[in-house]
């Protein structure tokens, strides 16, 4: 077994590749076992023994704490650093420990600046919207900045008072409604942080020939942070992808200089030529539009907090978190951790009823990321077939017209036989 390496823009993936995995707490063991069995089968089927994944277990969460006394041992971090690409089940957030969240620690240490969440509907899955087949979105959520940077001070502390004095005495701020009972948080949004996220989103759209990239923001209210995100995103699209894209400010410029008809003509020509339309929308309008007219959106590039809300809303549109995949990626270093997006589901752990599809679809993303997409496509095709027959775990099957609830291991066997 060998390591993946990053050379320039490319990942070099050996045919026998080691992938470290964290099993995860709660339902983690069940979904990890299910996903690995299915992935191994798809790889054998497609590559006929020429390719293989060597799964290497690394510890984190409760399992790590029990055997090492440490929630996130250094060897685990080292394995992800060394092998570049890994996968993880859900982890319990330790209560009262020194570590706020294991997921955040992993993301920060490896600087995994993109949280990728593709959102796709499978025929047969119950949904709250009328035309779910129109939902096909790919969320690029910025993962390292914004109000999530963790810079905040609790009200009533000397730090909050000191920060208040700085704001009022040195910065002349007068707009804080209840200054002495306020907690404070800081929202850093940078040009580099925005550009690397938007660049990754546009490259993804180019590689998959997708129609548009939408910058989702609240720049109408937060002009310099979220407004900056929009402005820097558009500037990057024009500067680095001017030939392949049609950024909306170009439309506005033509409209101003030559009139609306000319702008519409230029837009139609760009669409005809297969250029990716780069547009923007205010986050609240976007959340409405995803329900009313989801067909207008393809790749979404957004800031950290917006991305958090958007990911869950879009997951709900296509069947809930049991089936939503995710990945945290640094496209510059190649580091990537694919993950189940739901939690440890302690209420159903060990009962053979958990839905393994979130981790399974994340494994499909992993296969695509390392260039083994054909194996991933086999898995997706088998899932489509199972769902259209009404075969699924009970969380999904109970809402299907022809639903047939299968246990986790029966569902896994069924997918394997369909592959
Ligand atoms: P949860 O996602 O674990 O569970 C919410 C509900 O959804 C539960 O009723 C659960 O049974 C159900 N559910 C979740 N995944 C399912 C699946 N695959 N199939 C069927 N049903 C499923 O969220 P929670 O209860 O808020 O969190 C439990 C623990 O997980 C906490 O310690 C939390 O910190 C942690 N957590 C971890 C991650 C992560 O590691 N990425 C994410 C969220 C929560």
321 CA distance to ligand 1 middle (Å):
9
Residue 93 beta carbon below 6 angstroms from any ligand 1 atom? yes
**284 part of the active site:** yes
Ligand 1, residues 102, 343, 359, 395: which to mutate, most atoms within 8 A of Cβ?
343
Residue 342 beta carbon below 6 angstroms from any ligand 1 atom? yes
**Atom number, ligand 1, closest to the C-alpha of residue 342:** 2
* pLDDT per residue rounded down to tens, the chain (419 residues): 699 999 988 999 999 999 999 999 999 999 999 999 999 999 999 999 999 999 999 999 999 999 999 999 999 999 999 999 999 999 987 776 556 678 888 888 899 999 999 999 999 998 888 889 999 999 999 999 999 888 999 999 999 999 999 999 999 999 999 999 999 999 999 999 999 999 999 999 999 999 999 999 999 999 999 999 999 999 999 999 999 999 999 999 999 999 999 999 999 999 999 999 999 999 999 999 999 999 999 999 999 999 999 999 999 999 877 889 999 999 999 999 999 999 999 999 999 999 999 999 999 999 999 999 999 999 999 999 999 999 999 999 998 988 999 999 999 999 999 99
CB 248 within 8 A of CB 277: yes
- How many whole angstroms separate alpha carbon 275 and alpha carbon 269? 9
> Which whole-number Å values give the CA distances from 219 to 229, 286, 288, in the listed order?
8, 13, 17
Residue 118's pLDDT is 95
**148 part of the active site:** yes
Angle between helices 102-109 and 74-83 (to 10 degrees): 40
β-partners of residue 137 are 119
Residue 344 beta carbon below 6 angstroms from any ligand 1 atom? yes
**15 part of the active site:** no
- Tell me which of 41, 218, 275, 279 is the catalytic residue: 218
- How many whole angstroms separate alpha carbon 181 and alpha carbon 196? 37
- The secondary structure of residue 2, as a DSSP letter, is B
Residue 97's pLDDT is 57
Residue 296's pLDDT is 96
- Tell me which of 47, 134, 136, 308 is the catalytic residue: 308
Per DSSP, the residues of 90-139 read --PPPSSSS-S-HHHHHHHHTT--EEEEEEE--TT---SSS-GGG-EEEE
Residue 68 beta carbon below 6 angstroms from any ligand 1 atom? no
Q: For residue 335, which of 107, 117, 130 has the smallest C-alpha distance? A: 107
Phi, psi of 338 (to 5 degrees): -90, 145
CB 334 within 8 A of CB 4: yes
Residue nearest to atom 42 of ligand 1 (CA): 343
**218 part of the active site:** yes
Residue 103 beta carbon below 6 angstroms from any ligand 1 atom? yes
- How many whole angstroms separate alpha carbon 377 and alpha carbon 253? 42
Residue nearest to atom 40 of ligand 1 (CA): 90
pTM of the model: 0.94
Residue 319 beta carbon below 6 angstroms from any ligand 1 atom? no
- Tell me which of 284, 312, 384, 413 is the catalytic residue: 284
340 CA distance to ligand 1 middle (Å):
10
Residue nearest to atom 36 of ligand 1 (CA): 343
Phi, psi of 307 (to 5 degrees): -65, -35
Q: Is 155 exposed, middle or buried (0-12, 13-18, 19+ CB in 10 A)?
A: middle
Residue 99's pLDDT is 60
Residue 263 beta carbon below 6 angstroms from any ligand 1 atom? no
- Tell me which of 21, 83, 113, 148 is the catalytic residue: 148
């Amino acid at each position: 077994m060998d390591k993946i390496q990053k050379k320039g823009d490319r990942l070099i993936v050996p045919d026998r590749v080691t992938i470290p995995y964290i099993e995860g707490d709660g339902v983690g063991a069940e979904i990890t076992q299910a996903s690995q069995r299915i992935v191994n089968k798809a790889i054998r089927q497609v590559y006929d023994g020429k390719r293989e994944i060597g799964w290497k277990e690394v510890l984190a969460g409760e399992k790590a704490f029990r055997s090492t006394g440490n929630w996130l041992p250094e060897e685990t971090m080292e394995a992800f650093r060394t092998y570049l690409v890994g996968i993880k089940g859900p982890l319990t957030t330790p209560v009262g420990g020194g570590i706020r969240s294991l997921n955040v620690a992993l993301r920060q240490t490896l600087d995994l600046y993109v949280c990728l969440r593709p959102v796709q509907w499978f025929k047969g899955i119950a949904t709250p919207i009328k035309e779910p087949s129109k939902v096909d979105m790919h969320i690029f959520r910025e993962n390292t900045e914004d109000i999530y940077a963790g810079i905040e001070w609790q009200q009533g502390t000397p730090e909050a008072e000191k920060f208040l004095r700085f704001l009022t005495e040195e910065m002349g701020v007068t707009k804080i409604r209840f200054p002495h009972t306020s907690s404070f948080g800081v929202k850093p949004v940078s040009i580099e942080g925005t550009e690397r996220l938007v660049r990754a989103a546009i490259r993804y759209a180019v590689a998959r020939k997708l129609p548009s990239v939408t910058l989702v923001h609240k720049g109408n209210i937060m002009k310099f942070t979220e407004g900056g995100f929009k402005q820097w995103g558009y500037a990057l699209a024009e500067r680095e992808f001017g030939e392949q894209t049609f950024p909306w400010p170009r439309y506005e410029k033509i409209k101003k200089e030559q009139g609306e008809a000319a702008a519409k003509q230029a837009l139609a020509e760009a669409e005809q030529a297969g250029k990716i339309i780069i547009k923007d929308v205010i986050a609240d309008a976007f959340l409405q539009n995803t329900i009313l007219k989801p067909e207008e959106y393809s790749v979404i590039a957004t800031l950290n907090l917006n991305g958090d809300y958007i990911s869950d809303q879009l997951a709900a549109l296509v069947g809930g978190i049991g089936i939503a995949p995710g990945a945290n990626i640094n496209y510059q270093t190649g580091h990537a951790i694919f993950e189940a997006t739901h939690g440890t589901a302690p209420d159903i752990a060990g009962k053979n009823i958990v839905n393994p599809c979130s981790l399974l679809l994340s494994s499909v993303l992993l296969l695509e990321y390392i260039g083994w997409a054909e194996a991933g496509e086999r898995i997706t095709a088998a899932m489509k077939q199972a769902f259209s027959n009404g075969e699924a775990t009970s969380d999904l099957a109970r809402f299907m017209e022809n639903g047939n609830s299968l246990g986790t291991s029966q569902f896994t066997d069924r997918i394997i036989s369909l592959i």
